[in-house]
């Protein structure tokens, strides 16, 4: 956990001091006055600690987040303390809980509904907690077989497809580095990214669905440290691209 949080904090310091971040502030303030008056984005996050301003600042960042990677990254940084607490309480026996929680939070932030009411922080944490618990039930193999339907047994949304494909490059790099086998990679891509049913793939390969689920689970456990590191790189790259004309 410490290394993940340190990487995110170091990344945030680089982003907050970047020219892209400084150029973004005036446009944010013009669209959402609650984001005005800050000297830089770090100052903006310090201001959101004031209960009188927190709700308006986080709401404005949430409205921007689906189309503005920098605003999304600022919102993630603001929610980190709550995400750390969530990982500790929802996954005390899961060494990878913080990485999973952060990944789920990033997905939720980038797809935050503009019409949603209520506290942004509470909404994001609630959604992440719900999704994390679903993932835990699905991904940890049961002694009695698959037990629960894979999330890919349900038609994925367009947002799900976009988010899943965002990590493809990092998964391919893991393959090249020997972190996973080609067959394990193909299984992950087919069932997590392309939306194929785990049960259908198992039938095609004439293997037990439970055995296939275990194989995928082990491969994903090996990938998680790489993907957690890749999340930070992905965010930084996206922020830089968003700042270009």
Mean pLDDT of all residues in 159-176: 49
The single-letter DSSP state of residue 155 is: P
Angle at 222 between CA 220 and CA 224, to 5 degrees: 65
Whether the CA torsion 141, 142, 143, 147 is positive or negative: it is: negative
What tokens appear for 132 in the block? 């994390």
Low-confidence winner among 42-46, 104-108, 134-138, 174-178 (lowest mean pLDDT): 174-178
DSSP, residue by residue, 206-218: T--HHHHHHHHHH
Q: How many whole angstroms separate alpha carbon 187 and alpha carbon 180?
A: 11
User: Under CATH, which architecture does the 150-245 domain have?
Assistant: Orthogonal Bundle (1.10)
CA 209 from chain centre, in angstroms, equals 27
- Is a pLDDT exceeding 80 seen at residue 174? no
Has residue 231 got a pLDDT over 50? no
What was the pLDDT predicted at 179? 63
Predicted confidence (pLDDT) at residue 148 exceeds the cutoff of 60:
no
Q: Can you give the pLDDT at residue 57?
A: 94
Do 231 and 245 touch, CB atoms closer than 8 A? no
CA distances 217 to 96, 101, 188, 212, 223, Å, are: 13, 17, 9, 9, 10
Burial tier of 114 (Cβ tally within 10 Å: 0-12, 13-18, 19+): exposed
Q: Give the domain ranges of the chain.
A: 1-140, 150-245
Residue 117 backbone phi and psi in degrees, to 5:
-100, 170
Taking alpha carbons only, the member of 129, 39, 28 closest to residue 71 is 28
Kindly report the pTM of this predicted structure.
0.59
Q: What is the pLDDT of residue 84?
A: 87
3-state secondary structure of 214: helix
194-198, 209-213, 231-235: lowest mean pLDDT where?
A: 231-235
- pLDDT exceeds 80 at position 10: yes
- Give the pLDDT mean for 11-27: 91
**The pLDDT value given to residue 150:** 43
């Amino acid at each position: 956990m410490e290394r993940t949080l340190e990487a995110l904090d170091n990344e945030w310091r680089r982003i907050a001091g970047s020219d892209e971040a400084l150029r973004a502030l005036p446009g944010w303030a013009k669209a959402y006055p609650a984001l005005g008056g800050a000297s830089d984005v770090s100052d903006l996050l310090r201001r959101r600690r004031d209960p009188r301003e927190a709700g308006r600042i986080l709401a404005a960042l949430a409205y921007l987040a689906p189309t503005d990677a920098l605003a999304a990254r600022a919102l993630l940084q603001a929610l980190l303390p709550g995400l750390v607490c969530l990982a500790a309480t929802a996954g005390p026996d899961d060494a990878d809980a913080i990485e999973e929680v952060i990944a789920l939070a990033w997905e939720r932030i980038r797809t935050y509904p503009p019409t949603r009411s209520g506290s942004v922080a509470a909404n994001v944490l609630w959604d992440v907690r719900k999704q994390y618990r679903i993932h835990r039930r699905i991904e940890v193999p049961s002694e009695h077989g698959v037990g629960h339907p894979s999330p890919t047994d349900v038609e994925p949304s367009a947002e799900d497809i976009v988010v899943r494909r965002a990590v493809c490059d990092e998964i391919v790099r893991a393959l090249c580095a020997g972190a996973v086998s080609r067959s394990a990679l193909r299984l992950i891509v087919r069932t997590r990214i392309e939306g194929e049913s785990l049960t259908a793939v198992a039938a095609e390969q004439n293997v037990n669905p439970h055995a296939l689920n275990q194989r995928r689970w082990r491969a994903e456990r090996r990938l998680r440290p790489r993907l957690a590191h890749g999340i930070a790189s992905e965010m930084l790259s996206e922020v830089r691209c968003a700042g270009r004309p």
